[in-house]
């Protein structure tokens, strides 16, 4: 088995956590503190900020360059968060459920590679912890009515497709 490209993993994961913080910032800017699910969104945003900070530190320690797409992901993430919040609290949760579904899959794939290789237990442990927290975010979103959002199947599909594209782009650029 080939050795996993841990620099690529760290770069794309940091970009994803950055994007998540921007999505939640957009949602909270529209929804405020008193809207349904604001407390859940704020809690998830805090966890994503911690994930990002840990990836930022790992990047600095290991000399991994960030993706060049940060300005795009910043604007796109914020816009996605704000747009889904404008559609209503269930649409904001649908966004979370869709994003977290893709991130959980992505982290599971990475974890499988890292565990099979065994060369980077630090990164494997971090990804496993974050994957589990992303799974919790998805479950929270579903329990909070994500599937009741307008046009949920289409909205979920489009967001998941965008996430997969962002992952591929961030791995390379």
Which tens digits make up the pLDDT trace of 115-126?
Answer: 888 888 888 998
pTM of the model: 0.88
Nearest to 26 by CA among 43, 16, 41, 48: 41
What pLDDT score was predicted for residue 161? 94
Separation of alpha carbons 64 and 82, rounded Å: 30
Q: How many CB atoms lie under 10 A from the CB of residue 30?
A: 15
Separation of alpha carbons 104 and 17, rounded Å: 12
Average pLDDT over residues 141-158: 92
Q: How confident is the model at residue 41 (pLDDT cuts 50, 70, 90)?
A: confident
The domain locations on the chain are 6-172
Nearest to 90 by CA among 33, 136, 148, 133: 148
Separation of alpha carbons 53 and 58, rounded Å: 9
Q: Tell whether the model's pLDDT for residue 144 goes beyond 90.
A: no
Most confident by average pLDDT, 1-5, 41-45, 108-112, 154-158:
154-158
Q: Which homologous superfamily is 6-172 in?
A: Ferritin, core subunit, four-helix bundle (1.20.1260.10)
CB 17 within 8 A of CB 168: no
Average pLDDT over residues 56-79: 91
């Amino acid at each position: 088995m080939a050795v996993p490209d841990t620099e690529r993993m760290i770069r794309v994961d940091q970009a994803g956590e950055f994007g998540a913080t921007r999505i939640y910032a957009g949602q909270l800017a529209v929804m405020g503190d008193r809207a349904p699910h604001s407390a859940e969104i704020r809690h998830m945003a805090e966890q994503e900020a911690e994930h990002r900070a840990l990836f930022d530190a790992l990047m600095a320690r290991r000399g991994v360059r960030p993706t060049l797409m940060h300005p795009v992901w910043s604007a796109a993430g914020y816009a996605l968060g704000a747009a889904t919040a404008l559609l209503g609290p269930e649409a904001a949760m649908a966004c979370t459920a869709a994003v977290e579904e893709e991130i959980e899959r992505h982290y599971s794939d990475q974890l499988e590679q890292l565990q099979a290789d065994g060369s980077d237990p630090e990164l494997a442990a971090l990804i496993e912890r974050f994957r589990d927290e992303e799974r919790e975010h998805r479950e929270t979103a579903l329990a909070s009515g994500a599937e009741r959002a307008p046009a949920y199947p289409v909205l979920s599909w489009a967001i998941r497709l965008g996430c997969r594209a962002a992952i591929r782009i961030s791995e390379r650029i």
